[in-house]
């Protein structure tokens, strides 16, 4: 790679937010502002520790608090601030928001079928059409990356956003079934050049693997300390 080409390249560390109670319940969050649960906060701290020496120069995040809380842990570990961007928000799911997958299938069977087969022209009532969501996510991420040639940029967003990013980087059709992981607090690596996005690594959870979130983890220890001081 020439110096000129390297100077145009932006390294993207794309991150899905930590776990929420609604993730556990398989409940559609969409653009509802659901916070991280205790495990999600623990995941965010582990994530920050893992990325502290990555050379990240800027941290962008969806403004929804599950992403923002995750981004704040990363930014704190890197001695940076967080810049929020509504273009990184999850897809708006309209009438689906707040419902479990089973409830959607029961209460909206026709719409559920179009959603599950990834109809690009479908959007739940009050929500975003899939093709519009894809264009919004990829366009915004590309624009943000283009601001930082030669730098390492962290972007904290949502499962749907990362799904669009994976498809853009690997040229997978929007209708194709998903065969890749979108784990909470996973680290995903891409490159951006003026020619587009390229996938480098996906679904890295090494910072979480083998670690146990329980009463002896940092989150549990913090709660125990608060309880003993009360």
**Catalytically annotated residues:** 17, 90
Q: Tokens at residue 79, please?
A: 């001695």
Angstrom distance (rounded) from CA 113 to CA 119: 9
Query: Which of 207, 213, 166 shows the shortest CA–CA distance to 185?
Result: 207
Angstrom distance (rounded) from CA 92 to CA 28: 10
Angstrom distance (rounded) from CA 211 to CA 227: 24
Overall size of the chain counted in residues? 230
Cα dihedral 62, 73, 178, 112, rounded to 10, equals: -50
b/e for 94-110, b at 16 or more Cβ within 10 A? bbbbebeeeebeeebee
């Amino acid at each position: 790679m020439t110096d000129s080409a390297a100077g145009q390249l932006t390294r993207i560390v794309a991150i899905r937010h930590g776990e929420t109670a609604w993730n556990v319940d398989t409940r559609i969050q969409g653009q509802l502002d659901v916070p991280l649960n205790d495990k999600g906060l623990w995941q965010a701290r582990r994530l920050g520790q893992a990325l502290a020496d990555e050379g990240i120069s800027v941290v962008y995040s969806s403004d929804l608090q599950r992403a923002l809380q995750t981004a704040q842990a990363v930014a704190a570990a890197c001695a940076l601030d967080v810049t929020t961007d509504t273009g990184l928000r999850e897809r708006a799911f309209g009438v689906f928001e707040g419902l479990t997958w089973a409830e959607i299938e029961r209460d909206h069977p026709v719409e559920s079928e179009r959603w599950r087969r990834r109809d690009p022209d479908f959007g739940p009532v009050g929500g975003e059409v899939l093709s519009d969501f894809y264009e919004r996510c990829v366009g915004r991420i590309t624009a943000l990356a283009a601001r930082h040639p030669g730098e390492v940029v962290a972007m904290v967003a949502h499962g749907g956003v990362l799904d669009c990013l994976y498809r853009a980087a690997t040229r997978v059709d929007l209708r194709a079934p998903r065969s890749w992981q979108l784990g909470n607090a996973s680290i995903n690596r891409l490159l951006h050049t003026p020619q587009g996005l390229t996938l480098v690594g996906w679904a890295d959870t090494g910072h979480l693997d083998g670690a146990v979130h329980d009463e002896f983890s940092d989150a549990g220890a913090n709660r125990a300390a608060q309880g003993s001081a009360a």
